[in-house]
Structure 1
């Protein structure tokens, strides 16, 4: 396999934007399912609205329900990245911009590395570290997880995509 260059800030930012849109869609779906679950608990009288106006208000008022919702949203986001990074090294946004995450030696990243990357990316702010070292760009999450993001050729990107079928 040919050595591909590490990816700079702007390509990472563009891929992050694509992925953010997908994550927002997953977050909306997760929230709807959570609201339905809480409504089901209310219907069976396992929970009570108390002085809350509706289900959303109940979740906002109850620190436990609010914490569960937040944890679910974080878990869904981390699972999205872990799934795609460990499967083929590319999220949807990364595929569009021909980026791939891999171990520094070129191997596929592990689940542990993917979790570390997702948890330490700081919502994308970890990519600002790329600006510090323009010759060998790596984000904060890359340093912490022992990974790198490379820019693939069009042919290699197609090959990886077809190998996932």
Structure 2
């Protein structure tokens, strides 16, 4: 399927976007937890080697007694993995797993896939999904805040077009 045929689908409304957001939220929670476990394992390994010193209570890290830099590093690590999830799927397929379930596709207005740079620019105005609330106000154009900032759109694919994207 060419990019020109993908440019002719209707834009997605708020309900579909919200449904997709719920699906992706579950995946994001899993990514955040898994990356958190990996980060804690790295901290414990570095502590065991004597390279860093973390406050521990039992097996886990005592985050209240741990230096602020470790807390910032932990959260940055987890958020970075969540951001990489979106950047990868938006630029590679135009769909996250939640978007695929709801037959949504993120694309440039000409129907082409986003570049990694555009996907990164899209992350900030997304505001954890709150940028999609603008679709409720803009019923005519059905563009969210992040769509307007990055000159992109979210379209609803037909069943055939969504199946063909495997």
Query: With structure 2 as the length reference, what TM-score do the two structures score?
Result: 0.90
Residues 34-62 of structure 1: CA deviation (Å, up to 9, x unaligned)? 11111111111222245x53543147631
Tell me how many residue pairs correspond in the alignment.
Answer: 160
Unmatched runs of 5 consecutive residues or more in structure 1: none
Query: With structure 1 as the length reference, what TM-score do the two structures score?
Result: 0.91
Evaluate the alpha carbon distance shift between residue 23 and residue 47 of structure 1 in structure 2; reply closer, same or farther with a 3 A threshold. same
1:1-165 superposed matches below 5 A = 1=5, 3-50=8-55, 52-53=56-57, 55-58=60-63, 61-161=66-166
Question: How large is the RMSD of aligned CA atoms in angstroms?
Answer: 1.6
Shift of 1:72: 1.1
The 4+ residue runs of structure 1 with deviation greater than 4 A are: none
Unmatched runs of 5 consecutive residues or more in structure 2: none
Evaluate the alpha carbon distance shift between residue 69 and residue 158 of structure 1 in structure 2; reply closer, same or farther with a 3 A threshold. same
Looking at structure 2, the residues matched to 40 and 59 of structure 1 have their Cα atoms a distance apart, in angstroms, of: 20
